[in-house]
Amino acid sequence: MLTRKQQELLSFIDTRLRTDGVSPSFEEMKDALQLRSKSGVHRLINALEERNFIRRLPNRARALEVLHLPEAMRGKPALKLVPPAAAHAAAAPRPPVQAMIAANDTIIVPLHGRIAAGLPVEALESDRSLSVPAALLGPGDHYALEVSGDSMIEAGIFDGDYALIKRCEDARDGDIVVALIDEQEATLKYLRREKNIVRLDPANSAYEPQRYPANRVRVQGKLAGLLRRYH
């Protein structure tokens, strides 16, 4: 069962695809549903995708396909959402679109701070954010951390990089995860399990693996991507 906002977004996407032949941008979806940020659109898109109502076409940032509509929406007039501020422009005819258009949509994710700050991720909550290309993120809830130090350089993760993290509470052996130790210190490492021991492996031969009883380590997410700035 879909929420009201999920139904509204699905109907809006379906309407645009039928009338224009192109899916709306994240900015258009945000305005149409009167959401405060595009991260809200991203969560709705992920929910619809996980329920197999839509799918993203590969290699395109702005390409959605409606797979099917819920029974409750079938046969009903298409819902066209118009934000109040744009109502005066709603009557203006749209030029015909001849082909699917790709756009560089971005997602706004919270930026929680530096991974080696010695604090749990929850303690790093702030009003800072980072604009991330939508194509870098798959389904799920994400946040960003600024990498501090050189313990993962052999995995291509350098000091000052932005690690894009998918929130989760579990991961497979070999995943690069944000591990919280004793609810105090967060670190970015490879996850390995040895019976009742969790081993956190660096990607730098100058550092030794860290081993802890499993009850002292909590996974707070796994690496989904990286952003790097060149100065």
Residue 126 binned pLDDT confidence (cut-offs 50, 70, 90): low
CB 150 within 8 A of CB 116: no
Instruction: Give, for 217, the enclosing helix (H) or strand (E).
Output: strand 217-227
Q: 106-227: same fold as 4-88?
A: no
C-alpha distances (whole Å) from 159 to each of 29, 108, 131, 142, 188 are 35, 22, 19, 20, 12
Say whether 151 is catalytic.
Answer: yes
Instruction: Give residue limits of the domains in the chain.
Output: 4-88, 106-227
Which of 151, 166, 195, 222 does the annotation list as catalytic?
Answer: 151
Mean pLDDT for the stretch of residues 64-71? 82
Say whether 37 is catalytic.
Answer: no
Minimum mean pLDDT range among 18-22, 51-55, 187-191: 18-22
pLDDT greater at residue 22 or residue 211: 211
Which of 30, 38, 166, 189 does the annotation list as catalytic?
Answer: 189
Query: What is the per-residue pLDDT across 131-190, written as a single tens digit (0 to 9) for each?
Result: 887 777 778 888 888 888 888 988 998 888 899 999 898 899 999 999 988 877 888 999
Cα(106)–Cα(123) distance, rounded to whole angstroms?
26
Domain covering 4-88 assigned CATH 3.40.50.150 in the classification: no
Q: Give the chain's mean pLDDT.
A: 77
Mean pLDDT for the stretch of residues 7-16? 87
pTM of the model: 0.54
Minimum mean pLDDT range among 13-17, 113-117, 164-168: 113-117
Which CATH architecture fits 106-227?
Ribbon (2.10)
